[in-house]
Amino acid sequence: MTAQEVRLCGLLLQEHFGNVVEKVGTHLIRSGVLTLRALAHETKLPLDLVKKSLCVLVQHGMCTFGAGRRGPAGPVEYRINCERVFHMLRYPRYIYTAKSLYGDTGELIVEEILQRGQMTMSSTVKTVADRLTHNMPEGQSMDYSEVVSAFSQLVETHFLQRCPLASAGSSSSGAVDTPLPVATQPTEPESHPDCYKLPYINLTGQGKRRRSSEDGEADQCAAKKARTDDSECGDDRIYWQVNFQRFHLHFRDQAIISAVSCKLDQIFRALLSSYNIARPILDQYLSLLVDDPMEFVGKTGDSGGGMYVVNLHRALANLARATLESVVQERFGSRSARIFRLLLRKRHLEQKQVEDFAMIPAKEAKDMLYKLLSENLVQLQEIPKTPDYAPSRTFYLYTVNQLPTARLLLQHSYKTVGNLMERRLYETKENKRLLEKSQRIEAILASLQATGAEAAQLTEVEEMITVPERQQLESLRHHINKLDSSENQVDETIFLLKSYINSTQASR
Amino acid sequence: MAGSRGRGRSQFSFSVDALGFGRGDSLPSSAHTPSPLFPPMQFRPVPLHTGEEVDYMLALKQELRASSKNLPFHIKAARTKTDVAHYSDKYQNGETKNNCIEWSPDWSRMPKELCIKVRKPRKTGAKPQLTRKPKVAAGKEEVLQKLETLEKREEEQHSEEEEDEEKKKQNEEEPDADEDYDEEDLEDETDYIMSYFDNGEDFGADSDDNMDEAVY
């Protein structure tokens, strides 16, 4: 785990779960694997707080536990899954994708499961139905069957999966019921044969509209009812979680399709949606794609009129390369970008050759090359002519390696997101007083409007915020929106680079 | 490498001019300070993406952040007790405690050592509280009645405590004392103990018979 990754994990945990979980999580990431006692001792937090934090982390799938180094008889050891913490950055994208594929119902289902970590099907259906009913006009309510059908669709397309079997952990003194898996290899959810099988539940009814007056009692009753109902519905102990890999496949496909359709004309994108394309036009487009230097599509044979394959690895590499080039262009200018592209294609070049091929005057080329070198985007390779590396008899070649450069940019991206989050926290803290004041005034306004106050009273309350304060609030909101938006956008870059790195490593 | 070279002099495979300093010159001075925190940018950054999709995801992100603060997964450390007991402590018993967990995980999927044992308050302590709540609005006439019932209950509790051998009685003495104290205060929702208050009903009643003396 690099320093930037640990820092980003800490910030994400703090944003969602508070300072206590952040302390526990960060320490566990840095230490690797720890037992409960060791963790409590080293973080100097009370044991109960550490237990609560670990519960939260296990519930969300960010922490795995298993038999430790001393075997099943020893204390349980915990480790954090950093990748899963990074996925928290991408929650809005997952929810938006679910909305675009399966509508509002799908969106709410995915949102509930993401916020709670894992849920049973029946509790998800009830919660989502209640939430949808709340937004509907009076008198209408959402039937459970609609929610169940949306849930089934999500499971069938593998966007949701069953949580992997967790064998009961043994207490430090008690006997072990079932043998614990070794801590290094958590059971993969896909190894479970019923991973995508829907349980049979008898759940009929409609969403309930919650009246605001009975909030407290309704919550308690609902909690009690939920516990008894779960076992009645027949899907006790079957928990569902979001299948992140499947979402990532979907994003990857989207990225490739959008890249291709940007390159070819607009009609192509429209044609893709309808599958009956006239044969000769299809042939033309396919040959265009095959001949394209980006090599997204390859032709593997002529059987059946031509066999075509989408070259995913090549496509990802090209997308990553485009990202790297655009980064260089935006930070150093288009001429530096030209040098960078040149080096990517031609692999190794001497300084003189760089000047010639890029058609840039020597002095400027030298300047740009050295700047790229100092940023580590370009490497220098020495090729000696003689065994003693005498400078006069050594070739100095400039080169760019795509994979290490992608890794470097990924670390930069993590650092960027960390910086954005810290800046947002700082801005919020600086203006805390003003934000609290505006929240209180909004609450007062809302209560006044609910009880039917006159317009004069409302304006009087509104005037409690002076005009310069209003301006300050407005600019604060604008800044925070910008910072949040930037985080989302940097996360897209992170996703692209990570997919490229993973696919390259997998194919090696 | 072909090409014109200085005869017998130092020969490099690249042109010496490319280095930026000549032979015999001192090397360019190196920087002694760390690079600035916010270095000036040569090029303006590209504006952010805009559009409906981007706005929706922004709204989603902010909503998720706000709602995650209210979920039971957001853990706050309990405030440590200060030495001074505040008056408001009595009314703020909804504070988070370290030793209870606000949601119920499925313990079959978690290691048992993470389960926190919560000490439940004694059930007998709960009963008198339920019967006392409807009496909050009682007037002054029922104070004596209440005092009698309280005495009886204290006797009952004492006898039960003697029967019980557990240590919990020490914990219950505080809430019992608090309940008595609550009782007196909640009657008329004032800070003053009702029995000390004389509301002056008896003032004018005595002097109606003797009209000789003037009333000042």
pLDDT (tens digit per residue) in A84-130: 999 999 999 999 999 999 999 999 999 999 999 999 888 899 899 99
* Residue in the structure block whose two tokens are 């949580």: A163
What's the CATH number where A338 sits? 1.10.10.10
* Domain endpoint, select from A80, A103, A118: A80
User: Averaged over B108-122, what is the pLDDT?
Assistant: 72
Interchain proximity B13–A395, CB inside 8 Å: yes
Closest CA to A36 of A170, A220, A190: A170
Residues 6+ apart with CB under 8 A from A78: A28, A33, A34, A35, A36, A39, A54, A63, A64, A65
- The per-residue b/e assignment along B131-159, b for 16 or more CB within 10 angstroms, e otherwise, is ebeeeeeeeeeeeeeeeeeeeebeeebee
- A95 and A241, same structural domain? yes
Using a CB-CB cut-off of 8 Å, the residues of chain B touching A49 are: 75, 77, 98
Rounded Cα distance, A108 and A94, in Å: 11
List, for residues A309-321, the tens digit of each pLDDT value.
788 888 899 999 9
- A422 and A373, same structural domain? no
Q: Which of A134-143, A272-281, B36-45, B131-140 has the lowest mean pLDDT?
A: B131-140
Mean pLDDT, chain A, as a whole number?
83
- A60 and A209, same structural domain? no
- A88 and A182, same structural domain? yes
Q: Is the dihedral of CA B7, B12, B14, B20 positive or negative?
A: negative
Interchain proximity B101–A52, CB inside 8 Å: yes
Closest CA to A11 of A421, A411, A420: A421
- A147 and A16, same structural domain? no
Task: Give the per-residue pLDDT at A168.
Answer: 42
Interchain proximity A391–B12, CB inside 8 Å: yes
Within its chain, how far is the Cα of B17 from the centroid?
Answer: 68
- A409 and A341, same structural domain? no
List, for residues A264-285, the tens digit of each pLDDT value.
765 555 555 555 556 667 777 7
Within its chain, how far is the Cα of A38 from the centroid?
Answer: 31
Write out the two tokens for B52.
Answer: 């409906």
Would residue A252 count as lying in a domain? no
Give the pLDDT band of residue A174 (cuts 50, 70, 90): very low
Task: Give the per-residue pLDDT at A234.
Answer: 65
pLDDT at A170 over 70: no
**Helix H or strand E segment including A77:** strand A71-80
Interchain proximity B75–A46, CB inside 8 Å: no
| Alpha carbon of A49: minimum distance to chain B alpha carbons (Å) | 6
Least CB–CB distance from B73: residue in A56, A237, A489: A56
Interchain proximity B61–A91, CB inside 8 Å: yes
Would residue A278 count as lying in a domain? no
- A361 and A433, same structural domain? no
* First-to-final CA distance of chain B: 127
Q: Is the CB of residue A36 less than 8 Å from the CB of residue A54?
A: yes
- A426 and A346, same structural domain? no
Would residue A275 count as lying in a domain? no
pLDDT at A422 over 90: yes
Write out the two tokens for A407.
Answer: 């890794």
Closest CA to A490 of A390, A410, A375: A410
Closest CA to A58 of A75, A28, A40, A78: A78
| Residue of B164 and A79 predicted with greater confidence | A79
Interchain proximity A76–B61, CB inside 8 Å: no
Global model pTM greater than 0.80: no
Interchain proximity B77–A481, CB inside 8 Å: no
- A390 and A409, same structural domain? no
User: Averaged over A289-297, what is the pLDDT?
Assistant: 73
Beta strands (DSSP E) in A320-476 are 348-350, 379-384, 394-399
Using a CB-CB cut-off of 8 Å, the residues of chain A touching B11 are: 392-393
- A229 and A156, same structural domain? yes
User: Averaged over A285-309, what is the pLDDT?
Assistant: 75
Nearest CA in chain B to A366: B18
pLDDT at B185 over 60: no
Q: Which of A30-39, A113-122, A353-362, B41-50 has the lowest mean pLDDT?
A: B41-50
- A87 and A50, same structural domain? no
Q: Domain of A351?
A: 328-400
Would residue A276 count as lying in a domain? no
| Alpha carbon of A306: minimum distance to chain B alpha carbons (Å) | 38
Closest CA to B115 of B126, B129, B101, B98: B101
Closest CA to A329 of A338, A321, A337: A337
CB neighbourhood size of A361 (10 A): 10
Interchain proximity A115–B71, CB inside 8 Å: yes
| Alpha carbon of B79: minimum distance to chain A alpha carbons (Å) | 12
Dihedral of CA atoms A248, A253, A259, A263 in degrees, nearest 10, equals 180
Q: Which of A226-240, A382-396, B158-172 has the lowest mean pLDDT?
A: B158-172
Q: Are strands A239-242 and A348-350 parallel, antiparallel or unpaired?
A: unpaired
Residues 6+ apart with CB under 8 A from A500: A316, A317, A319, A320, A406
- Structurally, how many domains does chain A consist of? 4
- A480 and A391, same structural domain? no
Using a CB-CB cut-off of 8 Å, the residues of chain A touching B46 are: 330
Residues 6+ apart with CB under 8 A from A72: A170, A176, A179, A180
List, for residues A209-243, the tens digit of each pLDDT value.
655 444 444 444 444 454 445 455 666 778 899 99
